[in-house]
Amino acid sequence: MNDALDVIENGAIAVSGGNIMAVDTVDRILAEYRSGRTLGGPHTVAFPGLVNTHTHSPMVYFRGLGDDLPLKVWLEEHIWPAENKWLSHEFVRDAVELACLEMLKAGITTFSDMYFYGGAIAESVKKAGMRAVIGAGILDFPSATARNADEYLARAEQFICDWRTDDLVTPAVAPHAPYTCSPETLQKAKALSSKYQVPLHLHLAETEWEVQELLGRYGRRPIDLLHDLGILDGQVIAAHCVWSSDEEIEILAKTGTGVAHCIESNLKLASGIAPVVKMLRAGVKVAFGTDGAASNNDLDILSEMSTAAKVHKAISGDPTALNARQAMLMATRSGAEVLGLGSIAGSIQAGRSADIVIADMNRSHLIPLYDVYSHIVYSMKASDVSTVLIQGRVLIEQGRPTMLDEDAVHARARSWAEKIRISA
């Protein structure tokens, strides 16, 4: 995933000290480097770790709760009441372990989260060995974690100070959305983001209802409103942007705002389909997100790539739209760039972190092989991922986690689910 989108056949990657030392053919690498450990082999492909630019990882414990409902009803009548009852440091810590396990096994090495109890999320991320941008959630109304916007903001600042020097965790500010946070709260959140030079992550223009609500309140569409408030810039991760006008797409491009395209969640909630082809042509940096497992219902970027590439061809009437190379770029290098990690992750190049996925191509649905990009985007499944490295550390080997106890993670998840089921 370099600028030329090169594919190296019979290739090898030399890794040392957590970083990529060199990328070339096997013969050239072996002529220069020696190693006590070799991963991969015939009929495998190595590609950069996938990047999930928008999720709510603890919501994996609400997977399947309140399905087949509109977003507003789903949130207000099912998810928010469940969160008010169950959210705690322990709940979040345990749930994130399950989310990390699911993402790692699907080849995701980096994710951008938006939730509460950021310290608990960070604990589990470190335990799993993953890379994450963790957004401290902010609202204008009380929840299990704070009473008002100022308290959310104070907790967000403390979280940033606690984690801003970590090598795997990047703290962020995460005001929920312009319909749940006032203009004043949004500007305070942006000031906090700017003060510490950390990302700002929010939902934006997700539904038609949101557009009409903000037009009624402020006489402005969501993206236009945030631009007027001085919120949008290259540090912003804007999730969804489904209801973006042509003028707003130009604003996103001009300000360098990154967009997290969560097509499967948007389809399931009938929120609409973001005009991603227009965004890409306008120069907007677009990447993929899964959204939370409560609205998707999985954390699988391979699936997002395949769905997005096909749906955008259908709605544009153009079979060349969002081709396999573009989709793969969005899932790797563009994703890292949207999160401010472009110099660290997202491509297999010398000097970058060794965040690498190895997948088994010796599968019936991946034979014969003519174009590796096509196979990864249109044919590959999460179960084809065999090995995952982050910072050169092997976290998944032959499909099994090396840092997390899979059976224990599953047992805790079932225990929590039983409590939630009984209370519901």
pLDDT in tens, 73-106: 888 898 888 988 999 999 999 999 999 999 999 9
Beta strand spans in 28-107 (E): 44-48, 50-55
CATH of the domain at 319: 3.20.20.140
Q: Do the Cβ atoms of 109 and 345 come closer than 8 Å?
A: yes
Nearest to 121 by CA among 150, 149, 162: 162
Residue position matching structure tokens 């960070």: 122
Q: Examine the pLDDT at 424 and tell me if it is beyond 90.
A: no
Residue 192: pLDDT band (50, 70, 90) is very high
Q: Does residue 27 come out as left (phi exceeding 0), alpha (psi in the -120 to 50 range) or beta?
A: alpha
Q: Examine the pLDDT at 24 and tell me if it is beyond 80.
A: yes
Domains of the chain: total = 1
What sign has the CA pseudo-torsion 281, 274, 138, 182? positive
Residue-wise pLDDT tens digits, 349-379: 999 999 999 999 999 999 999 999 999 999 9
pLDDT of residue 72: 85
The separation between CA 415 and the C-alpha centre of its own chain, rounded to angstroms, equals 27
> What is the extent of the structural domain holding 211?
1-424
The helix or strand, by DSSP H or E, that contains position 225, with its residue range, turns out to be: helix 222-228
Could you tell me the end-to-end alpha-carbon distance of the chain, in angstroms, rounded to an integer? 46
Contacts of 198 (CB under 8 A, 6+ apart): 160, 164, 170, 171, 172, 173, 235
Task: Evaluate the omega torsion of the peptide bond into residue 362 and state whether it is cis, within 30 degrees of 0.
Answer: no
Nearest to 399 by CA among 108, 126, 45, 104: 104
Residue-wise pLDDT tens digits, 127-143: 999 999 999 999 999 98
The β-bridge partners of 202 are 238
The helix or strand, by DSSP H or E, that contains position 19, with its residue range, turns out to be: strand 19-25
Q: Examine the pLDDT at 325 and tell me if it is beyond 80.
A: yes
Q: What's the pTM?
A: 0.97
Q: What is the rounded distance in angstroms from the CA atom of residue 238 to the CA atom of residue 78?
A: 24
Rounded to an integer, the average pLDDT of 255-273 is 97
